Structure 1
Amino acid sequence: MIDYILQPWPWYVTGPLIALVMFTLIYFGKTFGMSSNLRTFCALGGAGKKVSFFNINWRDYKWNLIVVLGAVIGGFIAQFYLSEPTNIDLNPKTIESLNALGFNNVGKSLLPPELYSLDSIFTIKNLAILIIGGFLVGFGTRYAGGCTSGHAITGISSLQLPSLIAVIGFFIGGLVMIHLLFPLIFG
C-alpha cells in the first residue's frame, strides 16, 4: 500500500479529485488561484497601506490563507514523506542539451543545484534571474488577471474565454523561454 502512495498518482485519481475541489469551490462561490491567495496574505501584512491593489479586508478572504498554508504543508509532506529519490526519465537529447549548457547530473533532482543551491542562488547572475523572473511573474499575473492555476483550473473549468487565451499565452511564453531565452541565458 505504501508503495502505491509513493508513486505518482494516475490521472483517473487526481483528475476527479481536482474536479471535486473545483465543484466545491464553485458551489460555495469561491475561486482558486495562488495569486488571489497571496494577495490576501499581502493584505494581512499591511501592503494595502502602500498599494491600493492590496487594500482589501483580508478577513473576507481568510479561507485563502488556509489554501496557502495547505500548499506549504502539502509540499513539505509530499517531498519529505511521500517521495522516493528517483531519477527523472528525460529524453537523451534534453540531457545532452542541458549538459552543454553547464548542468551536471541532469535528471537526478527536480531542482538543479546549479540554480537552486544556496551557493548558486547568491551569485550575481542567479540573483538577477530570480529578481527579474519574480518581477515578470508578478507583472504577468497582474496583467493577465490571475495566475496559471487560477486561469487553467478555475477559469477553464468555468468556461471563461479569457482564461483559455491566458493559458495559451502561458504555454507560448514557456516555449519561447525554454527554446529561445534559456539557451541565451545559460549558453
Structure 2
Amino acid sequence: MKIDYVHFTPWASLAGGVLIGLAAALLIARMGRIAGISGIIGGLFRPVKGDIGWRLAFIAGLIIAPMAAAVFGYRPEVQVDASWTSLIIAGLLVGLGTRYGSGCTSGHGVCGISRLSPRSLVATLSFMAAGFITVYLLRHL
C-alpha cells in the first residue's frame, strides 16, 4: 500500500470526524434522535407533527455545509469513474441494504457503535465487508 502524501490530510480528516461526532452527540443529547441519514430522510416520508423541522434543518445543513466550504476556497476535485446505470443500481442496492439493515452507516457506524450496540457493530462490519468485496470484484476480477 502506498500513501499519497501530497493529498494526505490527517488533521482535516480528524477535524471532520470530530465535527460529525459532535453533531451526532448533540442530536442525541438535545433531541434523543439518532443521526442516521436514512432514518432522517425516511421520516420525511412518514411525517409526524412536530417532527419535520429538525429533519429539514439537518438535511439543509448537509447541503449548505459544502457550499460554505466552497466559499472559503475548499473545492475538492470530484471524479466519478462509473456510468449513470452503475450509480443508479448502486444507489438502489444501498437503499435496499439500508432497509434490511434497519439503518445506514451513519446510524449504525457513528451512533450505534458509540452506544456499544452489538446490532450496530454487526451491521457496520457487514456494510464494510460488502463494500470491500464489491470493490475487489469490480476492480480486480
Report TM bin, short chain. Answer: 0.7 to 0.9
Q: Which has the higher contact order (CA 8 A, sep 6+)?
A: 2
Contact 1:40 1:65 in 2 (8 A): no
| Offset, 1:63 | 0.4
Contact 2:28 2:35 in 1 (8 A): no
The answer for unaligned runs of 5 or more in structure 2 is: 1-8
Alpha-carbon distance in structure 1 between the residues aligned to 2:121 and 2:54: 26
How much identity, in percent, do the aligned residues show?
Answer: 34
Normalising by the residue count of structure 1, what TM-score does the alignment of the two structures yield?
0.60
Normalising by the residue count of structure 2, what TM-score does the alignment of the two structures yield?
0.77
Q: Does residue 157 of structure 1 match 2:114?
A: yes
Partner of 2:78: 110
Distance of aligned partners of 1:129 and 1:17 in 2 relative to their CA distance in 1, 3 Å threshold:
closer
**Higher mean displacement: 14-23 or 29-38:** 14-23
Partner of 2:53: 62
Taking only aligned residues, the RMSD between alpha carbons, in angstroms, comes to 2.4
Contact 1:40 1:62 in 2 (8 A): no
| Offset, 1:14 | 4.0
Contact 2:69 2:75 in 1 (8 A): no
Partner of 1:100: none
Larger radius of gyration: 1
Partner of 1:17: 19
Q: How does 1:16-165 map to 2 (within 5 A)?
A: 16-28=18-30, 29-41=32-44, 43=45, 55-57=46-48, 59-79=50-70, 81-83=72-74, 109-112=77-80, 114-115=81-82, 126-165=83-122
Partner of 2:3: none
The answer for unaligned runs of 5 or more in structure 1 is: 1-6, 44-54, 86-108, 116-125
Q: How does 1:148-187 map to 2 (within 5 A)?
A: 148-183=105-140
Q: Give every structure 1 segment of 4 or more consecutive aligned residues whose post-TM-superposition deviation is greater than 6 Å.
A: none
Aligned residues: 131
